[in-house]
Chains A and B, each alone.
Chain A
């Protein structure tokens, strides 16, 4: 590889030419910064932070969170005792795709104590401190705790597990996870275009962030901090991170609260989402919410209620739902379900047939597959009518 240096030189030339072409007008700022890779001395912790070991910083902040705002509705949390085990966590990482090269550089753990929530933030001020940084994080990982996050189960936890394994912690884990993304999606998934935490804050929790940094820019901002040691955008990241953890707690209690006070929901679709979730958890409030939404004209609520009542064999309720749905709109679903009720429960194939026939005649409005089903149903009804 005698000529490797020369080849690298050629590559550099090509890259520079490309960069100049691409950047055009605004090259100066970036170039000045990039061309100065002088060795930077170890950064000093910022005000309010302490250095636990080289490059590992920590601070603890208290966020007022009075007891009366900690609402427990028995949805995700059964009793106030559990509050002591909840650890609200969030990690900022060097990349958004995961994998062995993605590091956690900012970890936050929030817990309740008395009147407030206290949040520990651990920051990795440069890569060489990672072993100690991971050791500090590992102290928080007790199997007694329940780790509350937003998409932590699918992402944050895995990034940390990778780092733990690389540093030799073979069993450390955050086993008990309460990931709020899932219930949130169930409730507001249909109401909101996007279900990320920012969108939930804006539309559901009514939290406004001032001077916030978009999550997608965070890895870049950290790299810039490593290169230049400028606090600038990293202070925004740290503030953003605190807000994320605060929002987690707020969101958890909001979900607990709306279960009992569904009028607080942003729209009828969220009501259906909540009703469905509660019903699937076996919570009687679910059916009540769905009934209410149906009465107020949301047909989707009926679609969820029908299979539940069928399964529970609650025929009068089932009939009620179907009547309400048909009154709203004589759609395919309600007609077919009513026909089934007439055929199997009321044993009245004739009445069922009378419902089905017009649907078949309006064939243009019915899909191929449904039409096939309808024919099948009609033929069976015909047989029943002819030889009861």
Chain B
């Protein structure tokens, strides 16, 4: 049995694939990234001899240039953010200055924060290799939810490097800081890895968590220095500075070598050119992955949702199912959030050791969890960010061998945009990460935690963006609610319980529903899900897929946070439809631009999951609708309004459209914006909401609202105001280049109203009038 592909077979295979008559016509770009040579420098002079020896023992006698840059900046006392692609030795770039400094100063401590527990486990083994391998006198300890009680005391007392995650810092460490007195009073370095994942709500929480950490550290007399690592995004330095609220030195010249990489942009064939329907990514991904796997090319398939992960892996398993050949001796697994930790560890191990040949995963495997080297990555649909695309594609070819990544575009508009504008993708990253640390909900939650940790004095501040009187306003608000108490010039915690317990850093709602399988009368917990998602995925009669098994939701008990399901064998899956209503509460700014009036402010959004569709497996054809009866969600959030006043270019644009279809056209524009904006705002499609009105009761003009779907906003409305023109141009590009005739889900949405006019043409002409003006730079 051949498990590994030799260089030769890979190259021959790629040649064949390039000329394959089914494959090659669908390739919109075959981009070969030549192998890159390493840029080396000698290890720093001042490095401890033991540390030098240790590097030598691991075969490292030179360091990559970016590692040296980080080392020098960190040793100068600067905060650093290092931008590193996958497999460029980023771990060593921060381990080196940390270990060196800790060896020089036996009192000093360092904190490593990783976004997930899985990553911290990997990190501990890596560090242990450095530290224990050379028997350096540094104790490395992991402190997270899985750390047994017996090890916690020693981690706190004698851990020189403590590896943890933001959630544990938030709910375990900071609220109990007196127990960490030794650690916190000597805290010298804080390492924040995968900093690009701290965007949106998670990033907004992260800034506040860092504010709390610094506040407590200061109380104990320390002021730590930060080293951050980020994947490639448009604004790593800005994001890092927003998160730690201090100046940060950027290191972004990568000195690591890499093997030849083939990045293939693949657009599935058009099935219906009129409606712009293409062959689905699920089946395309399955076929391409199967071709690779059958050649013994170790392959990872990334799917865009848990549902698709399960679909693709079950199709793949079915394809190789053959009892006489032991399933062609191919073991294929699926991997995603919602599996139990030991299930995940087992799959990771199988991949590292080679007993698993193919894995279908959500973005759960995108981050640096060690699964060894893979030869091919197949992206079944593009993840919402270019940073993620690069990370997922980078899963193939970690070492210096030839690798291939096939990026399959789905009908999703962002995918169609990228597959038709490959330069966007191979050029400088257009996307930036946005956060909103002053989201009032997030801020209030963290202020409660902060008061619990230490009382506020009148001279105290909280972060860099809030004025003193604003801070006092919020504290006064908390005092009215009885959560804090002001006495003799200080605010003290006076609420019940332990505030951090009620705050989740990951979602806007801390509550999650436990999914219970009731099949055969046994109640077994198979996973959990946050409440808003549960309303969309676990409503009664929803079909829920878990590890390739199908379940039918019997009851969703939101109050008690339970969902009862039973195993089922239906030939369809379900997809919910959400209805939305919006009201302006407060206007922050209202500016008239040449093209339209732009208003930013706070809005109240009411939404309800009212219906669901039944879609047939395999063909995905619509089998009918069902009703959902669940309470509505109400959120207070941030929005930006574009009002098409009469004397603006957008106003003139709408005037030029047949009044009968105006309403449709504006709805289509809304869809188009929602489709394009995520590329620029580095968010998921569901992070923004769009409401369009032909005559808005608030502005009295045709208006498009774009709002943050997270309560209080996560900075996307603000980001949109800033990048508005760029996004509108992108929208124009997408619709003009889309292959459909009348509009399709990939651009402006399908044409559903039956009228004579071609609405796609109307949209193009409207956009043309709207943005084709001299004042738009670059147009």
Contacts and interface: CB of A to CB of B under 8 A. Distances in A.
Interface of A: 1-8, 10-12, 14-15, 34, 37, 94-101, 126-128, 161-166, 170, 219-220, 223, 226-227
Contact of B496 (A1, A164, A220): A220
B251 to A, nearest CB: 32
Nearest to B185: A170
Contacts of A163: 178
B490 A128 contact: yes
B493 interface: yes
A101 to B, nearest CB: 3
A95 B492 CA distance: 13
Contacts of A97: 497-498, 501
A43 B178 CA distance: 30
B284 interface: no
28 contacts: A1-B438, A1-B465, A3-B586, A4-B466, A4-B474, A5-B470, A6-B586, A8-B477, A11-B440, A12-B480, A34-B480, A97-B497, A97-B501, A99-B176, A100-B452, A100-B454, A101-B453, A127-B488, A128-B487, A128-B488, A161-B178, A162-B178, A163-B178, A165-B178, A220-B496, A223-B494, A226-B485, A226-B487
Nearest to A126: B487
B604 to A, nearest CB: 8
A63 to B, nearest CB: 32
A223 B482 contact: yes
Contacts of A128: 487-488, 490
Contacts of B370: none
A10 to B, nearest CB: 6
The 8 closest A-B pairs by CB, nearest first: A101-B452, A165-B178, A101-B493, A128-B488, A162-B178, A97-B498, A99-B175, A127-B492
Contacts of A10: 585-586, 602, 636
Interface of B: 174-179, 181, 438, 440, 444, 451-455, 465-467, 470, 473-474, 477, 479-482, 485, 487-488, 490, 492-494, 496-501, 585-586, 588, 601-602, 636
Contacts of A95: 496-498
Nearest to B450: A101
A36 to B, nearest CB: 11
Nearest to B469: A5
Contacts of A96: 497
Contact of B494 (A6, A15, A94, A98): A94
A94 B738 CA distance: 64
Contacts, number: 107
Given A3-B601, A100-B454, A165-B178, 17 more contacts: A1-B465, A1-B467, A2-B588, A3-B586, A4-B466, A6-B586, A7-B602, A7-B636, A11-B636, A98-B176, A100-B174, A100-B178, A127-B455, A127-B485, A162-B179, A166-B178, A226-B487
B451 A101 contact: yes
**A2, A127, A161, A219 interface centre (most CB from chain B within 10 Å):** A127
Nearest to B452: A101
A223 B452 contact: no
Nearest to A7: B440
A384 to B, nearest CB: 42
Contacts of B493: 94, 101
Contact of A4 (B470, B488, B585): B470
Contacts of A220: 496
B5 to A, nearest CB: 48
Nearest to B465: A1
Interface secondary structure of A, over-half rule: helix
Given A8-B474, A14-B636, A101-B453, A3 B602 contact: yes
A100 B175 contact: yes
B583 to A, nearest CB: 11
**B176, B501, B601 interface centre (most CB from chain A within 10 Å):** B176
Contact of A1 (B444, B470, B487): B470
Contacts of B497: 95-97
Given A7-B602, A34-B482, A127-B487, A12 B498 contact: no
A128 B485 CA distance: 11
Contacts of B467: 1
A4 B476 CA distance: 13
Nearest to A19: B481
A37 B480 contact: yes
A155 to B, nearest CB: 13
A127 B490 contact: yes
A226 B494 contact: yes
Contact of A100 (B177, B487, B496, B601): B177
B438 A4 contact: yes
B586 to A, nearest CB: 5
**B467, B482, B492, B499 interface centre (most CB from chain A within 10 Å):** B492
Contacts of A162: 176, 178-179
A16 B474 CA distance: 16
A1 B462 CA distance: 13
Contacts of B477: 8, 11-12
A3 B470 CA distance: 10
Contacts of B488: 126-128
A328 to B, nearest CB: 36
B489 to A, nearest CB: 8
A162 to B, nearest CB: 4
A216 to B, nearest CB: 10
Contacts of A37: 479-480
Contacts of A227: 485
Contacts of B453: 100-101
A257 to B, nearest CB: 35
A5 B470 CA distance: 7
Contacts of A100: 174-178, 452-454
A220 B179 CA distance: 26
A206 B485 CA distance: 40
B107 to A, nearest CB: 14
A5 B473 contact: yes
A98 B497 CA distance: 8
B316 to A, nearest CB: 38
A352 B732 CA distance: 90
B602 A6 contact: yes
Contacts of A98: 176, 498
Contacts of B490: 127-128
Given A1-B466, A223-B494, A8 B482 contact: no
Contacts of B181: 165, 170
Nearest to A164: B178
A162 B493 CA distance: 15
Nearest to A224: B482
Contacts of B496: 95, 219-220
A213 B440 CA distance: 38
Contacts of A219: 496
Contact of B498 (A2, A6, A99): A99
**A7, A14, A166, A227 interface centre (most CB from chain B within 10 Å):** A7
A34 B480 CA distance: 7
A277 B582 CA distance: 67
